[in-house]
Amino acid sequence: MTAIATTANPLLIGKGLPPFEHIWPDHVVPAVTQLLAELEEQLTQLEATVTPTWDGLVKPLEQIEERISWSWGIISHLMGVKNSPELRQAYETMQPEVVKFWNRLSQSQPIYEGFKALRHSETWDRLEESQKRIVESAIRDAELSGVGLTGEAKERFNAIQLELAELSTRFSNNVLDATKAFSLTLTQLEEVEGLPPSLLALTAQAARSAGEETATSEVGPWRITLDIPSYLPFMQHSRRRDLRENLYRAFISRAASGELNNMPLIQRILELRQEEAKLLGYSSFAEVSLAAKMAPSVDAVEQLLEELRQASYDAAVKDLAQLRSYAASKDALEADQLQHWDISFWAERQREEQFDFNAEELRPYFPLDQVLQGLFDLSKRIFGVTITATDGEPPVWHPDVQYFQVADESGEVIAHFYLDPYSRPAEKRGGAWMDECIGRARVAGVEGSIVRLPVAYLVCNQTPPIDDKPSLMTFNEVETLFHEFGHGLQHMLTNVDYSRASGIRNVEWDAVELPSQFMENWCYHRSTLLSLGKHYQTGELLPEHYYQKLLAARTYMSGSTMLRQIHFSWVDLELHHRYPSGSNETPEDARRRIAEKTTVLPPLPEDSFLCAFGHIFSGGYAAGYYSYKWAEVLSADAFAAFEEAGLENEEAIAQVGHRFRETILALGGSKHPMDVFKAFRGREPDTTALLRHNGLVAV
């Protein structure tokens, strides 16, 4: 659909909530072209008149950054949730220009010198701690952005940045397209044996969307895709081993052949990152990455990974041995025949038998609205905030999107968020994420300054409503929602008034998962879980026996789960720290070498997992995937503070919750995360709670 030419371009408004109903792909190129021209002029003017004071440098710089972030942020958001060929083309046209502008801004010599002068000025001591940290971060970030480079080195650095941005977008699009390109249409009842009703309904709906108008969950046809809400339950429940193998092989070889092959992109990305590191004076890209993180060094990260590997490896070996003998006991397979496509299926059968329930049984107890109500009640109990829906107020990008407001104890509204809960494989990328729509800051108002309230995007990819049923969530989807909401809380409950350090901004990447992983722990807290679980038809509360089983199942195969994350983390670190080392090793060779000590069942020869590893090749986690484990140590230890206070002691919980809100959630990037953690916990973090929660250490 095209915009009417006479309409003013909505992407140039530059503030407030995005008018999604008026934004079209053909707004992108003219808006960004005009905006960059204006901002180039403002930046040139600022460079010519830099005064090394807060008001003379930081404030005008923030205004420039905020304008480009507002417009480009909307476009990037729509690329994730409403992807289309037209939007892609517009995005790819303007992305190089936006990268050039950010390069120019981050490499501005006058601004860099201005920050350094401010650091040594007489006004320095009068600045607040958060302002000082902003200045110090700006100096560090400028140095990591190549501000110290000149001549050919600078030109080369900028060319690398441009190429990396383009490669990252291509990588992501290839994964999306490869995921979409594969589907399995099943027409016979024996082909869907074992599949739960929820999956039959989802796959019949997918078949209808693909043109099979008469498809029903009872008689099919059923369209299975590589989209996680379709792929995962199929692998867990399909009794057809041949079809599981077919699907598994398709999943692990996504974006690994033909015109969507990401392997050449991976090699190029790694070469460019290594070259960038050398230009900046570092020996590897991992060192560049860690220069702005909480972990002090690659050695420190590898030490943590090795500690967790030793705690989980033997447990993972035991997990696999038990699974093999379990499958053999069912006369299904010889113990040595268990393959990758059998793991999810037999793990699910063993879990059902061991804990006497399956994940599907719980779905009716977790309708989205009930889960949200339980999540909001919890937020009120531990953080003192009230969350209510304000649907119908702002424009949204899809009818399923909801909008909420967050109020504090006094009833004053302090933040808002959008929730886009359901999977839409045709236009929305997989996974779940939180992003900023608007960041908190003190800005100029009509009568003096006012606080601009934060607004978050919370995006999930859970099972959508099907036919006359609401969205019925798996327990895993419930955990994912809690996780993203934790990110949202840090963005929304900040009390920092400087935009460069409010919410998640300026928080070291390996500490940013602390609030999100912390929130997941509440899914295993009895009264919280029982408040979430209510049958969507009968209103019956989640039976106590299910809670006990979930608790018992929490540590089921946790050695395997942890080892898998360690494998990803170590591969990422290896590729960015020691590869390319001048040997003939390919990235895949490096991955397989690491797999020898971090996997129990080696990857198949055609396993091309790296080709879909978006986190590190298109998602900001390059040489940072370890952050999940690093932050999980912090989050488990933080939750242990609530356990020590007594989880059923409402008064004590509220007190610890208040302290958590005032430190971890409120301080944002205004202090170093270790100082923030110590302010909450009174000491440095410890791995004991994480290993205990995973059943890998004696209680």
Residue type, position 666, single letter: A
Summarize pLDDT for 294-348 with one digit per residue, the tens.
Answer: 999 999 999 999 999 999 999 999 999 999 999 999 977 776 789 999 999 999 9
So what's the pLDDT on residue 357?
A: 82
So what's the pLDDT on residue 5?
A: 40
Summarize pLDDT for 80-124 with one digit per residue, the tens.
Answer: 999 999 999 999 999 999 999 999 999 999 999 999 999 999 999
Domain 259-356+557-625: give its CATH architecture: Orthogonal Bundle (1.10)
Measure the CA–CA gap between 462 and 368, rounded to whole angstroms: 10
Measure the CA–CA gap between 667 and 659, rounded to whole angstroms: 11
pLDDT at 4 over 70: no
> pLDDT confidence of 360, banded at 50, 70, 90?
confident
So what's the pLDDT on residue 2?
A: 42
Structural domain boundaries of the chain? 10-148, 182-254, 259-356+557-625, 363-553
646: left (phi over 0), alpha (psi -120 to 50) or beta: left
Summarize pLDDT for 496-529 with one digit per residue, the tens.
Answer: 999 999 999 999 999 999 999 999 999 999 999 9
Nearest to 145 by CA among 23, 292, 260: 292
What fold characterizes domain 363-553?
Neurolysin; domain 3 (1.10.1370)
Summarize pLDDT for 468-497 with one digit per residue, the tens.
Answer: 899 999 999 999 999 999 999 999 999 999
Question: What is residue 122's three-state secondary structure?
Answer: coil
Per-residue b/e over 148-166, b at no fewer than 16 CB within 10 Å? Answer: bbeeeebeebbebbeebbe
Q: Which residues, in sequence order, are CB contacts of 659 under 8 Å at separation 6+?
A: 680
Summarize pLDDT for 233-255 with one digit per residue, the tens.
Answer: 999 999 999 999 999 999 999 99
Nearest to 70 by CA among 389, 603, 443, 526: 443
Whether the CB-CB separation of 235 and 248 falls below 8 Å is answered with: yes
Catalytic site residue from 484, 508, 520, 574: 484
Phi, psi of 453 (to 5 degrees): -80, 145
pLDDT at 7 over 60: no
So what's the pLDDT on residue 38?
A: 97
> pLDDT confidence of 19, banded at 50, 70, 90?
very high
Report the DSSP pairing between strands 222-225 and 386-389.
Answer: unpaired
> pLDDT confidence of 649, banded at 50, 70, 90?
very high
Write the CA distances from 629 to 512, 526, 615, 635, 636, integer angstroms: 11, 25, 14, 10, 10
Q: Which residues, in sequence order, are CB contacts of 555 under 8 Å at separation 6+?
A: 693, 694, 695, 696
* Helix or strand holding residue 421 (H, E): strand 413-422
So what's the pLDDT on residue 182?
A: 95
Token pair 């499958």 is found at 327
So what's the pLDDT on residue 3?
A: 40
Summarize pLDDT for 555-569 with one digit per residue, the tens.
Answer: 999 999 999 999 999
The Cβ of residue 535 has, within 10 Å, a number of other Cβ atoms equal to: 15
62-71, 111-120, 460-469 — which is least confidently predicted? 460-469
Measure the CA–CA gap between 521 and 535, rounded to whole angstroms: 22
Measure the CA–CA gap between 619 and 514, rounded to whole angstroms: 18
Token pair 């796959």 is found at 203
Summarize pLDDT for 651-679 with one digit per residue, the tens.
Answer: 999 999 999 999 999 999 999 999 999 99
Tell whether domain 10-148 is in CATH 1.20.1050.40.
yes
Peptide bond into 110 cis (omega under 30): no
Mean pLDDT, residues 128-139:
96
pLDDT at 699 over 70: no
State percent of the chain over pLDDT 90: 90
Nearest to 367 by CA among 467, 284, 478: 478
Per-residue b/e over 265-285, b at no fewer than 16 CB within 10 Å? Answer: bbeebbebbbebbebbebebb
Average pLDDT, the chain: 94
Active site (annotated) includes residue 484:
yes
Question: What is residue 541's three-state secondary structure?
Answer: strand
Identical fold at 259-356+557-625 and 363-553? yes
Whether the CB-CB separation of 282 and 290 falls below 8 Å is answered with: no
Summarize pLDDT for 146-191 with one digit per residue, the tens.
Answer: 999 999 999 999 999 999 999 999 999 999 999 999 999 999 999 9
**pTM of the model as a whole:** 0.86
